[in-house]
Structure 1
Amino acid sequence: MSQLKNDTFLRALLRQPTEYTPVWLMRQAGRYLPEYCETRKRAGNFMKLCMSPDLATEVTLQPLARFPLDAAILFSDILTVPDAMGLGLYFAEGEGPRFERPLRDEWEVRNLSVPDPMDKLRYVIDAVRQIRVALDGSVPLIGFSGSPFTLACYMIEGSGSSDWSKVKTMLYSRPELLHHILDVNAQAVAAYLNAQIEAGAQAVQIFDSWGGALGHRAYREFSLHYMKQVISLLKREHDGQKVPVIVFTKGGGLWLEAIVESGCDAIGLDWTVDLASARARVGHQVALQGNIDPSTLFGSPAVIAQETCAVLAEYGHGSGHVFNLGHGISQYTNPEHVALLVETVHRESRQYHAQ
């Protein structure tokens, strides 16, 4: 593998000195880019796009051709893992992800097993290898998975939900069944992320998109506990380099101190969290990633620059900050506004890293 030409992102995650604050964006390869829409149209549908290593590589690199981002993130979907378990993932136009065979009966839960990532998810692992070669050491590659709880939400509901009523019904009426799903998911996520690391992912992120929907005690028992289990099973070094782990719980600002104890290297923050207070709460234990409101990118150039500078000022001086959105970029975002954001981060953050 090529020597990294820009390791700013990895050094920031490990709280090492950097010349500026690195930046990447959740969902940076997506529908806001005309070239992505063209590739997706050529693929035929979203699943075919995900399952083609060639096309996944193409769209992973598209935002890097436009913007001087400090990391690439594998193009895939968090629900490839339950699909590999046999639940039958498909995407209905305008309706988001759905499963043909959601977990409805106890025997279906008991029959769940950990898929071999080199078999059922080989297309993702092949994409990781291909993307690393294509990047040629320009920037690091981020691998990812959904959290055990977030995957369980879709596996039980069968689709997205406004209240996750089926999940919560199981949580409070048959918690042992939910724990069984989560245990299998944790093993599957760890195996999946380890396969990505072995294939070339230089950092990994766990997307806990729905952990914030849980109550205070339930979050620790049903979401954080299983992310901690995943992290304990991960390969933390590969090719002589440390592989940092980022945990992102949307709506998780209340639990930062507990998330620190998961063993992660960095915590992703949504836009509801004040970076200055978050930094004070976690101290020097972990790096922080985030957290401008994605809707800021609908504002005028002056407002985007102003809000970007405000986030940098909130974190303040020193290393350990990776600039990102507080959630994924909207499909309606103007790419020129993204260019402005990245340029502003790179230019204005240098004052906070001066020795």
Structure 2
Amino acid sequence: MNDSLPLLLRAARGESVERPPVWMMRQAGRYMKVYRDLRDRHPGFRERSENPDLSYEISMQPFNAFKPDGVILFSDILTPLPGMGINFDIVESKGPIIQNPIKSTQQLKELRTLTPQESMPFVGEVLGRLKESVGNQAAVLGFVGAPWTLAAYVVEGKSSKNYAVIKAMAFQEPELLHQLLNHFAESIAIYLRYQIDSGAQVVQMFDSWAGQLSPIDYDTFAAPYQQKVIELVKETHPNTPIILYISGSAGVLERMANTGVDIISLDWTVDMKEGCARLPQNVGIQGNVDPGLLFGTPKAIRARIVDTVMKAKGRRHILNLGHGILPGTPEENAKVFFEAGKNVNELIKSIS
């Protein structure tokens, strides 16, 4: 056991820790006034995420306010796309727009191999600065989008409610889709290695849209490419913990565990006790407090955190929300969440 390393890194590696570490998905963002003020001055999302000074400042905002155990790079899962030749924009209130959605083999042939140090040097710079700033007070987290979710964006061209366009490709032109997924798997592995080399100590892969797949299609179009990313990264960085998150993952939890991932992030639709029972003991658990709970009372927030931590007892556990923190969440309730997480041992003792 190395107490000089950040708590979250030790927990993610499966070491014995004094309490579960705590951070929040989307902890840098719209619920914080300091972020909204910065956004008013810099309205373009890509400017905020690709200007290293702005990305660093935004990444540090929740750390400065709440001292979570993890500081995550402020970026987007689509950030690597331009380095492959796919341009995009993120429009406030509309979400991502892909300028030339991929529909053909010819477009696929024109995709470039990702070289992140050339196309995204700002990511490496920000991660290095975060590591230097937080030292061992928090782990630095990197993240990527998984191949299926990236493919869904670039084929659909935007966010979708029914995923009809990519599912049409899956069932009409599966070979084309598999080639695209493979390209993304190789590129995402390169990108994760770059993040780790730049300072990320734990990394999370978001397959946000894989929960929209039936289990048989998850086995065909999502899991093999998640697994390929994990295997490629583990070849060069075997000691860096990888977290996998899928929104709406209740139907594929056991399948997620078969990808070789270190930690599965549960959404809030699965009871923590049941989630633990369904996953092998060697797989860690992250989550899974309902983000909507943070609109409740401090008492309710504390009680749910105690419940979650008690149900995960005996497991490698990182306390988190079951999805990203919601816009409009009162900042004082985010503070309650972090403070309750850090003092969870005392809270448990007080009720036992």
Above 0.5 in TM-score? yes
Letter in 2 for 1:297: L
1:76 counterpart residue number: 75
Is 1:332 aligned with 2:328? yes
| Structure 2: segments with no counterpart, 5+ residues | none
Match for residue 283 of structure 2? 286
Out of 297, 300, 303, the residue aligned to residue 297 of structure 2 is 300
d(CA) in 2 for partners of 1:257 and 1:102? 33
Q: Secondary structure at the match of 2:119?
A: coil
The separation in 1 between residues aligned to 2:143 and 2:3, in whole angstroms, is: 20
* Structure 1 SS opposite 2:243: strand
3-state SS of paired residue (1:11): helix
- 1:59 equivalent to 2:66? Answer no
For 2:21 and 2:227, the matched residues in 1 are separated by 26
Task: Report the Cα distance in structure 1 between the residues aligned to 2:340 and 2:145, rounded to whole angstroms.
Answer: 30
Distance 1:60 1:86 in 2: 27
Residue of structure 1 equivalent to 2:173: 174
Q: Does structure 2 retain, via aligned residues, the 8 Å contact 1:114–1:185?
A: no
Q: Counterpart of 1:72 in structure 2: which amino acid? A: V
Residue aligning to 1:249:
246
Corresponding residue SS for 1:251: coil
Separation (CA, whole Å) in 2 of partners of 1:296 and 1:226: 34
Q: Which moved more, 1:117-126 or 1:70-79?
A: 117-126
Q: Does residue 221 in structure 1 map to residue 220 in structure 2? A: yes
Q: Check conservation: 1:106, 1:177, Cα contact below 8 A.
A: yes
- State the alpha-carbon separation in 1 of the partners of residues 91 and 186 from structure 2: 29
Q: Which has the higher contact order (CA 8 A, sep 6+)?
A: 1
After TM superposition, give the deviation of residue 351 of structure 1 in Å.
7.5
Per-residue displacement from partner, 1:186-208 (whole Å, max 9, x unpaired)?
Answer: 01100000000111100110001
Task: Report which stretch shifted further, 14-23 or 333-342.
Answer: 14-23
Query: Contact between 1:197 and 1:235, CA under 8 Å: does it hold in 2?
Result: no
Contact 1:29 1:62 in 2 (8 A): yes
1:237–1:243 CA contact under 8 A, matched in 2: no
Aligned counterparts, 1:97-246, within 5 A: 97-235=96-234, 242-246=239-243
Residue of structure 2 equivalent to 1:312: 309
Residues 1:6 and 1:24: Cα distance change in structure 2 (over 3 Å) = farther
SS in 2 for 1:119: helix
* Counterpart in the other structure of 1:348: 344
Distance in 2, Cα, partners of 1:127 & 1:91: 20
Go from structure 1 to structure 2 and tell me whether the alpha carbon gap of 1:236 and 1:27 turns closer, same or farther (over 3 Å shift).
farther
Q: Return the alpha-carbon distance in structure 1 between the equivalents of residues 177 and 80 of structure 2.
A: 17
8 A contact 2:340–2:347 mirrored in 1: no
Once the two structures are superposed, residues 138-161 of structure 1 have per-residue CA deviations (whole angstroms, 9 ceiling, x without a partner) of 211011100000000100011100
* 2:306/2:347 contact within 8 Å kept: no
> Which stretch of structure 1 is more off in the superposition, 222-231 or 271-280?
271-280
Equivalences, count: 348
Query: Matched residues in 2 for 1:350 and 1:84: separation?
Result: 48
User: How far apart are 1:5 and its partner, in Å?
Assistant: 5.1
CA distance in 2, matches of 1:73, 1:236: 24
Q: CA deviation at 1:38?
A: 1.9
Specify the SS of the correspondent of 1:313. Answer: helix
Contact in 1 for aligned 2:85/2:112 (Cα 8 Å): no
Structure 1: gaps (5+ residues): none
Displacement of 1:109 in angstroms is 2.2
Match of 2:15 in 1: 16
Q: Distance in 1 between matches of 2:51 and 2:160?
A: 29
1:322 aligned residue? 318
Separation in 2, partners of 1:255, 1:189: 22
How far has the Cα of 1:171 moved from its partner? Answer: 0.4
CA-to-aligned-CA distance 1:80-101 (integer Å, 9 cap, x gap): 1223222211122321111111
The answer to whether the 8 Å contact 1:4/1:139 transfers is no
Question: Given the superposition, is the C-alpha separation of residues 219 and 350 from structure 1 closer, same or farther in structure 2, using an over 3 Å criterion?
Answer: farther
Q: CA deviation at 1:257?
A: 2.2
Identity %: 36
Specify whether residues 156 and 150 from structure 1 end up closer, same or farther in structure 2 by C-alpha distance, changes over 3 A only.
Answer: same
Whole-angstrom CA distance in 2 between matches of 1:342 and 1:99: 36
Tell me how far 1:185 sits from its aligned partner.
0.2
Equivalent residues of 1:294, 1:328 under 8 A apart: yes
SS of the equivalent of 1:144 reads strand
Q: Aligned partners of 1:162, 1:347: CA distance in 2, in Å?
A: 40
Q: Is the 8 A contact 2:268 2:289 kept in 1?
A: yes
Question: Residue 85 of structure 1 aligns with which residue?
Answer: 84
Displacement, 1:134? 2.1
Match of 1:272 in 2: 269
Deviation at 1:270, TM superposition (A): 0.5
- Are residues 56 and 336 of structure 1, via their aligned partners in 2, closer, same or farther at CA, if it must alter by over 3 Å? same
Q: Distance in 2 between matches of 1:298 and 1:124?
A: 33
Structure-2 change in CA distance of 1:4 and 1:113 (3 Å): farther
Task: Give, in angstroms, the shift of residue 104 of structure 1.
Answer: 2.6
